[in-house]
Amino acid sequence: MTPPKYLKPLLVVSLLLNVFLVGGVAGGLYHWLANAKPAQVAINQHGLRLALQQLPEPRRKQLRQLLRQNQANSQPLVMAGREARLDVIQQLEAPTLDRNALLADLSRAREADNSLRVLVDNTLADFASSLPQDERQELGKALYPRGQGKAKIARKE
């Protein structure tokens, strides 16, 4: 029994298609592995976390130590903010909305968050006051990497 005449060209086309498919997968895998970035870069970091990553190791340890020292002071603020946000959720899920209670809970959450921010900002100011000018400039670049501060300075001048 002889194979049909169309079977040979079909096998050739199938072989070529498979070669291109394997080549494409291999090329994509090579490109992916060659251009792989560390997991830390893939995380969308901003603000203080980004600044910590860009500081030299001794300064990074110094800032972390200052932040840890303030952790005891910040814990009640974190808990107050969390409780206020839970109260907000309860208000929103209630069968009837008490607008005044909702506004009070939102205000409590905002005040706790602002107090926590002030505490962190004071710690950052203490840390920055211990740095020489060049390291303070690097800290500023790390905190505001896209030149956010430069645009405000340019408008003031």
Kindly give the residue spans of alpha helices, DSSP state H, lying in the chain.
Answer: 7-34, 39-42, 47-54, 57-69, 71-93, 99-129, 133-143, 148-156
pTM value > 0.95: no
Q: Which of 117, 132, 125 is nearest to 56 (CA)?
A: 132
Model confidence pLDDT, tens digit, residues 18-63: 999 999 999 988 888 888 765 444 444 456 777 777 777 888 888 8
Q: Which of 139, 113, 111 is nearest to 47 (CA)?
A: 139
With beta carbons less than 8 A apart as the criterion, state whether 123 and 66 touch: yes
CATH, range 46-156: 1.20.120
Q: How far apart are the first and last CA of the chain?
A: 92
Structural domain spans, the chain: 46-156
Model confidence pLDDT, tens digit, residues 62-77: 888 888 888 877 888 8
